[in-house]
Structure 1
Amino acid sequence: MLTRRSAFKAAAGIAATATFGVTQGAYAADMVVKVGINLSYTGADSESATRVANGGILAFEEANKYKEVKGVTFEPVKLDDGTATAGQYDPAQAATNARKMVSDKGYIAALGPQMSGAGKAMSPILSAGNLATITPSSTNPDITDPKFAAQYRPNGKAIYFRTVATDAYQGPNMANYMADVLKVKSVFVLDDSGAYGVGIADSFQAQAEKKGIKVLGRDRLDPKAVDYATILTKIKSMNPDALYYGGVGQAGVKLAKQAYEIIPNVIKAGGDGMQSADLLKGAGFPAVEGWYATVASPHVTDDPKTKDFSDRYFARFNLRPDDYTVTCYTGARVIIEAVKMLVNAGKPVNRDTVRDAIQATKISNTLQGPVEFDENGDLKNKVISVFQIKKDTTKPLDDPDAQYKYVGVAPMA
């Protein structure tokens, strides 16, 4: 577990090119540093966003309470990239939020975004301002792929870090699980047209074909459409063993409801976009029963080592954390430790030095295990966890921690 005593190792020679900040000895008053928490608080994924954001908020509150970094107070600022018009994340709003943070020198880092479509809109802007962000749940691999560096990090340095694996692993590993564990022979693939949904569906489909699963077809859902009966009736006529959906809750809720009515006996699975309280509330039982979903991190909320964190979180927010709450908490802890290391070394605290310290992170004992980033900002640990929704009437039916049962680690591709 990452604690106030956790070691933080950073490469020597971190740049000291401050245009603002604090150096050792300048403690007449606390320096207040802003950290944006950019998630989709409006729309179909709002409850998940709140649950995730609370992990980062708790980390900063505790750091301030215990005065972990001498002379520094952390100010987490929530920025909403969801809009009522979009009904979920809105790339245009995400870009606006990125510009807001970059234009305010008080921001030294950020957490988020939640969704990859928002990440694609934000990343070039954050790169221009050299403002590092750590996403707890955005998994589209293009954003950190060096092939697309000119598009997503035009200034060269990695600024988009992750405390989760990418869909280069999440989609393929679920295809392996379907083939090796569920013995699926045929599948129909859907996506919701978003960056995340298309990307994870593409990677799932490619690996499914490699594993010998027959892909009977591929189609795209309009997230704002009300009725998916036509496509589901077509899928029913093909009689697949399984349905795989790449996408998030806006289309996912309606898909779960209507798929239960039209293809009730088909195995159904999706990525982490189908692992949320929003799905449980929006579609409900019995429609969601049996759905599989992956999470792009180790499953740790059932681990006794996380009990203290879980209890502190519940006491503060009256909610139980999920695995992406943990990855957000971890991201916040990385930022806290980066700032602590800079202050202790007498280095300026600004977005340039913080970015470099985040890049150099090597922490072995976070709640989710070791955290270290490669040169592109991707987490080196690639664990993909698999869950299945199984109704537990003894617990709240909209509590993902209770209703999603962990069934194991997805086999590596």
Structure 2
Amino acid sequence: SASAQEVVKIGHVGPTSGGIAHLGKDNENGARMAVDELNAKGVTIGGKKVKFELLAEDDGGDPKQGTAAAQKLVDSKVAGVVGHLSSGTSIPASKIYSDAGIPQVSPTATNPKYTRQGFKTTFRVVADDVHLGGTLGKYAVTQLKGKSIAVIDDRTAYGQGVADEFEKGVKAAGGRTVAREFTNDKATDFTAILTNLKAKKPDIVFFGGMDAVAGPMIRQMKQLGIKAKFMGGDGICSGELPKLSGGAMEDSQVVCAEAGGVEGEQKKGMDEFKARFKTKFNADVQIYA
């Protein structure tokens, strides 16, 4: 029981290696800061003072590595888990946490399947792809007045899921998609896909995937003279994207949506958080921290 524990272990899992390591580290730093702030404040559970300890694991954005990391945290007897980052790793890991009765709170997994499996231990703190992708699809037609919309996804649980919902949103708003292409989350060359798309003269290209792939894709669109707007979900909504595109990103070219927007009176809290984060880690918040 918690009252017999002096140290409460909290797990964190994200990709701290590989193409989206900057996002995984961002999440981990957010969790680390929360633990440090709670410990500094002092927390009592069941009449006993507790100290939180963060156990951080790397899943490399890989489902197999993700389940191994989940099992390791279960064996370490963590009280709860923050993570995983991607839907592709969160979904298989969720069964392991459910079997062990350990709560898992993903700050980032948006595929609807993640929370629709009936597990009592599975939570998310952001909107899912039905809301995220569907809203972007509607926006593409009603606000951006897209007439010729192309869709590319990276075949991950997140990328394919958000692209499917985007396409449904476009259709529901009376728009049409002229092409659906796919790549993978490690790809760097999109010449064949983009050459196909160029012939269809898209005014909007939607990409379901993360910033590490979106950046080079934007650069190659420019090289091929595709002048379309570039849309995506929260996975491309990072401070790193301009750098990853090699400076090829045009002003107002990219339209993306974060899965947990902050507005109104919440802005003050967010600004304070960003300032504390910058002081602690000497880095800006990427997306999810």
* TM-score normalized with structure 1 length: 0.65
Deviations 1:222-267 (A, max 9, x none): 3334421111111111112211110123432321221122243111
How much does 1:287 deviate? Answer: 3.3
Cα distance in 1 for partners of 2:100, 2:287 equals 30
2:130 alignment counterpart: 168
1:356 alignment counterpart: none
Give 1:6-405 correspondences, 5 Å limit.
21-23=1-3, 31-69=6-44, 70-82=48-60, 89-105=61-77, 107-145=78-116, 148-149=117-118, 153=119, 158-287=120-249, 289=251, 290-299=253-262, 303-325=267-289
Tell me the amino acid that sits aligned with residue 59 of structure 2: D
Q: Which has the higher contact order (CA 8 A, sep 6+)?
A: 1
The DSSP-based 3-state class of the residue aligned with 1:324 is coil
Cα distance in 1 for partners of 2:158, 2:43 equals 36
Tell me the amino acid that sits aligned with residue 243 of structure 1: V
Contact 1:47 1:277 in 2 (8 A): no
Instruction: State the identity as a percent.
Output: 30
Cα distance in 1 for partners of 2:144, 2:281 equals 37
Quick one: structure 1 residues 127 and 288, their matched pair in 2 at CA, closer, same or farther if it must change by over 3 Å? farther
Quick one: structure 1 residues 261 and 57, their matched pair in 2 at CA, closer, same or farther if it must change by over 3 Å? same
| Runs of 4+ residues deviating >6 angstroms | none
The DSSP-based 3-state class of the residue aligned with 1:207 is helix
Cα distance in 1 for partners of 2:212, 2:275 equals 31
Cα distance in 2 for partners of 1:178, 1:225 equals 26
Deviations 1:375-396 (A, max 9, x none): xxxxxxxxxxxxxxxxxxxxxx
User: Would you say how many aligned residue pairs link Structure 1 and Structure 2?
Assistant: 284
How much does 1:282 deviate? Answer: 2.3
Quick one: structure 1 residues 284 and 54, their matched pair in 2 at CA, closer, same or farther if it must change by over 3 Å? same
Cα distance in 1 for partners of 2:2, 2:197 equals 61
The higher radius of gyration belongs to: 1
Deviations 1:184-207 (A, max 9, x none): 122011100101001000011011
Tell me which protein shows more helix as a share of its residues.
Answer: 2
The DSSP-based 3-state class of the residue aligned with 2:11 is strand
Tell me the amino acid that sits aligned with residue 195 of structure 2: T
1:346 alignment counterpart: none
Cα distance in 2 for partners of 1:242, 1:197 equals 17
Q: Report which stretch shifted further, 270-279 or 72-81.
A: 270-279
Q: Which runs of 5+ in 1 are unaligned?
A: 1-20, 83-88, 326-413
Cα distance in 2 for partners of 1:59, 1:117 equals 25
**RMSD of equivalent CA atoms:** 1.9
Quick one: structure 1 residues 288 and 127, their matched pair in 2 at CA, closer, same or farther if it must change by over 3 Å? farther
How much does 1:43 deviate? Answer: 1.0
Contact 1:45 1:278 in 2 (8 A): no
Cα distance in 2 for partners of 1:250, 1:225 equals 9
Cα distance in 1 for partners of 2:268, 2:104 equals 30
1:395 alignment counterpart: none
